[in-house]
Amino acid sequence: MKRAALYLRVSTFEQHPETQLYDLRGLAAQRGFEIVAEYTDKLSGAKSKRPGLDRLLTDARHGQFDVVLVAAFDRIARSVRHFLEVLDELTHLNIEFISFRENVDTGGPLGRAMIIIIGAIAELERNLIIERVRAGMRRAKLEGQRLGRPRLNVDRDALARDRARGHSLTQLAKAYQISRASVVRLLQSSNSGDAA
């Protein structure tokens, strides 16, 4: 008998996960699974860090169950990327994933094929976004637009003098309205310029 974990999620505290629980318990009974754990989150699926899901994944790594049942794909995650990350980890741990609404079971060949198709679509979407960004950058460059952050317009000599007077990096960053990292970089570049 396979050990099953149920994962339930609702978006707000006003919503109740009982409907999901009823469906998933019925599915587990129908498949002959023993329910060994139930995990619930009451927060948005857009958040990748969720206490219930985090506990489920920790317990999965410790081999506490063989299959995860969810009411629907969107209960695990709102983004395809996060959904695939969770599925990838479960697959790596040899834990099956079953979705009640989509009727997908990664224990069978059709379910595994569905996950591969979803992954391929997600990868295609990522590549199309990257290509659109690159095309936009090429167009902007051809139109003479400067890309990236504006250059820092800082008097390096004055910065070096203020540092020599004993000002801290934080004081310099505030005075020149730049980050501490920029202060260090500018001071190093002015020192290397002095050495040359």
Which are the catalytic amino acids?
11
d(C-alpha 146, C-alpha 75), whole Å: 43
Overall size of the chain counted in residues: 196
d(C-alpha 123, C-alpha 8), whole Å: 27
Q: Sheet holding 34-42: strands in order across?
A: 34-42, 3-10, 67-70, 96-99, 104-105
Q: Is the CA virtual torsion 97, 102, 103, 107 positive or negative? A: negative
Both tokens of 41, joined, read 């989150």
